[in-house]
């Protein structure tokens, strides 16, 4: 069984399922895989890194076998991180991760996800300042306690056994 993360942009109907784990096609054809998934900056980074690796090892006079091992290691890194790069790119493009699904393949993941879709999350705005209880708002002192500033002692005891 595989784990898929579900990413949604506007509606649940346009959900994207990204498999967790090693991406074999990204390992075998990293630049092509990155381009197919529209990861432009990641493709540029891979090409620049591969070029620097080739130029640096070639200038150092390293044997060709060592260069092949270095490129295999770079491709291995891309294979392990490919799906995470895709998740990050989806997040930058405005997609929200809605959850995860365990399934054998993408089709089964879609069936399982749409059989029990998650409830929409209502987002609330954070409070600007803590309420002091009186009619006015007091500024909050966020400076850490130091040698000249003792920590404030809470008026109520903390813990499970306050009388001990």
Name which residue leads in pLDDT, 164 or 79: 79
* Residue 16 DSSP SS3: strand
38-75 pLDDT per residue, tens: 999 999 999 999 999 999 999 999 999 999 999 999 99
Q: What pTM was computed for the model? A: 0.67
Q: What is the pLDDT of residue 117?
A: 79
Q: What is the mean pLDDT of the chain?
A: 83
122-138 pLDDT per residue, tens: 555 555 655 555 555 55
109 within 8 A of 101, measured Cβ to Cβ: yes
For the chain, what are the domain ranges?
2-115
79 within 8 A of 22, measured Cβ to Cβ: yes
How many CA atoms lie within 13 Å of 44's alpha carbon, on the beta-carbon side? 3
Closest CA to 86 of 28, 14, 4, 13: 4
Asked if residue 29 has pLDDT above 90, the reply is yes
- Residue 120 confidence class, pLDDT cut points 50, 70, 90: low
Asked if residue 147 has pLDDT above 80, the reply is no
Percent pLDDT > 70 in the chain is 72
First to last CA, the chain: 51
């Amino acid at each position: 069984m595989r784990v898929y993360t579900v990413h949604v942009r506007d509606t649940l109907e346009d959900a994207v399922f990204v498999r967790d784990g090693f991406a074999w096609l990204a390992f075998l054809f990293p630049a092509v895989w990155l381009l197919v998934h529209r990861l432009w900056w990641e493709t540029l980074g891979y090409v620049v890194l591969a070029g620097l690796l080739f130029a640096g090892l070639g200038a150092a006079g390293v044997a060709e076998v060592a260069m092949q091992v270095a490129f295999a290691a770079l491709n291995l890194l891309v294979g392990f991180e490919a799906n995470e790069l895709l998740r990050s790119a989806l997040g930058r493009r405005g997609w929200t991760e809605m959850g995860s699904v365990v399934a054998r393949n993408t089709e089964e993941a879609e069936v399982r996800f749409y059989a029990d879709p998650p409830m929409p999350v209502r987002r609330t705005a954070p409070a600007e300042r803590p309420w002091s209880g009186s009619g006015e708002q007091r500024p909050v002192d966020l400076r850490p306690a130091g040698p000249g500033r003792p920590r404030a002692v809470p008026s109520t005891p903390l813990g499970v056994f306050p009388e001990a």
